[in-house]
Structure 1
């Protein structure tokens, strides 16, 4: 029995070493023009005033504004001593918010970088934050692993409402763009670790949840995203991304299969592409109409945690602490596809690695012990 354990340990150790070598070699790649930082990146948000900057949430407890052209950190917002999981900006773009593992939402003045109010009340990690203007009042909505969604008055910090039904931990929140036509109310959706997608309505006089949740996945739904048609795209731990059609009662009409958890999904309407982020380190581009996989952007060396579209530019972030940029212009995408195909063919021509003499001797000894 002991010899079997040793043999298993040998193979496990060898696999771990090989994986470390693989990641170390891959980390040297410059695919996607990486901006290399020092902390795991957990989320990304757009800068409403510039197409050349993004805000990122870091595991080091900071929110960082990064200039994409230069890689420069234009601003760093500090205070939390725990990872920040999510980032959003106020409706006027003057305040940045971050959901944190310390169970609160932090806020900073963007111009001065000065910490402002902390929004409290959750009893577990805050996983998602969004903002909106309802009835002339700016509100913050936060979703937590404590299975609650809280609505706050941004100006006063007052907690206006708490949604808590039969939910489990919240993973993501997303505003229904069709509801923005009515300034007196907001409709938003949540996804969570219980596989259910829920719909909520909030106004100064009413707060309610739709009677029936949307059930389309087998397990946790990490991200939800509305396209220009008002349909809902989902990214799940069941290794699929789906399109849920509004006019068909949120039934799925397209399913994109992945080899691992799907962490995020966005839709590039101009090109007719759906882009997904996966735990297997890859960013995939799919034909929106057919569901056919068109191209895989490879460069990250850890799971991809977030995607953002800025015009034709796709920005991806990862716990490998890099921000990478990929062009979705037709010519650039075609060129990337051809280069990837060429690289893949070259890799196939390489001979399979053999065991070294020392490894063969160790393996033989272990097999003899087992006998």
Structure 2
């Protein structure tokens, strides 16, 4: 006897049914020229060799290199049997952090028909999921820094796969790592990390050493003095990004994104409020925009100078997990297994805003017509679905 697989055949709350139907309808839209991949996309990174391509880490245990214009998959990096949650890219290798507590390394290939297998595995560095990766080239050594759900930061020799240092000042899982562009030299760098308890910490790394330093940059503390973390949010911090001025932008589960100003001791001077968790953030220096990715499926564009919401890009039908700026285009990835592209060119932005206003006006007119019509409930639902399909 065959078994039903349609979720509508099983007990569900009315809210769950409505969400499922809404996502099924929204999944048909073509906003952002979606590129459909085979599994949920958990992270993305730019291709250092080709601005028209990106790397995406997937729940299916693979990383793929994808051409943004054609949607062609030019190379597949396979090996893990668990979701790849984060990635980093050097000039020669792709690195993927995995749910299996391991980091994999693959040699970069410009094109490959067959899946590329790992040439190196970084093991015994974490006791829980790997959640963040950062590649840092120094004059005498290439470093790979990993952050895990075990609250540890591990520093590796990226070329040999050897574990160099383990840093354990965080109390909860490390979710974000970023390089401080104003405290970097050929011999050593400063990085910032953030965790699920909202703490942001600072570290100094060289080819031979790794230690925490005070967030303020004051390195004259006594040996007995503990470095205090920076606390700017109420809960988890998912992303850290620096702008050209050296100020740090953050994205948090407290439903805000903030700009922390270096010269003011990392005090926040901008707060962008969202309806749900903010998963990622990017700064468009040329256009004066801040772009955020949200768990509510939306990608938002904010005026950097005023902090006002300028436009919302709608198209994804599941949580947006990451974004990149590629020239004048925002590239976003999602649990819905699609890559989408949104132009920031003035004429394209003007057109996008006009289309959104027209859509909102049309939806309002439909809702008014439904509320005053004599249509049956089924007819009203069909009309609403037709309007959604037009989106």
The TM-score, its normalising length taken from structure 1, stands at 0.90
State which of 201, 206, 225 in structure 2 corresponds to 1:203: 206
Q: Structure 2, unaligned stretches of length 5 or more?
A: 1-10, 214-226, 379-391
Cα distance, 1:15 vs structure 2: 2.1
Match of 2:118 in 1: 115
The one of 132, 138, 157 equivalent to 2:136 is 132
Instruction: After superposition, give the CA deviation of every residue in 1:78-137 in whole Å (9 maximum; x if it has no partner).
Output: 0000000011112xx111000000001001111273311111121000001111112421
- 1:166 positional shift: 4.1
CA contact (8 A) 2:152 2:170 kept: no
Is the Cα contact below 8 Å between 1:103 and 1:126 reproduced in 2? yes
Helix, strand or coil at the partner of 1:345? helix
Deviation track 1:55-90 (CA, whole Å, cap 9, x = no partner) reads 000000000000111101100100000000011112
Count of aligned pairs:
347
- RMSD of the TM alignment (CA)? 1.9
Unmatched segments (≥5 aa) in structure 1:
1-10, 358-371
User: Where in structure 2 are the equivalents of 1:1-371 lying within 5 Å?
Assistant: 13-90=13-90, 93-111=91-109, 113-120=116-123, 121-180=125-184, 182-210=185-213, 211-351=227-367, 352=370, 356=377
Give the whole-Å Cα distance in 2 for the aligned partners of 1:102 and 1:15: 34
Q: Tell me how far apart the structure 2 counterparts of residues 216 and 12 of structure 1 sit (CA, whole Å).
A: 39
Displacement of 1:355 = 7.5
8 Å CA contact 1:86–1:100 kept in 2: the answer is yes
Aligned position for 1:6: none
**Contact 1:271/1:330, CA 8 A, preserved across alignment:** no
Query: What do residues 7-27 of structure 1 show as CA deviations (whole Å, max 9, x unaligned)?
Result: xxxx96222222211111111
User: 2: distance between equivalents of 1:310 and 1:74?
Assistant: 18
Q: What is the Cα deviation at residue 206 of structure 1?
A: 3.3
User: Residues of 1 paired with 2:210 and 2:59: CA distance?
Assistant: 33
Three-state SS of the structure 1 residue aligned to 2:238 is strand
Q: What is the rounded CA distance, in whole Å, between the counterparts of 1:12 and 1:260 in structure 2?
A: 24
* Runs of 4+ deviating beyond 6 Å: none
Q: Contact 1:135–1:203 at 8 Å: present in 2 too?
A: no
| Matched residue SS, 1:15 | helix
Do 1:224 and 1:235's aligned partners in 2 also have CA atoms closer than 8 Å?
Answer: yes
- Give yes or no for contact 2:170–2:199 (8 Å, CA) kept in 1: no
Q: State the TM-score, normalizing by the size of structure 2.
A: 0.86
Q: For 1:135 and 1:326, how far apart are their aligned partners in 2?
A: 37
- 3-state SS of the aligned residue for 1:320? coil
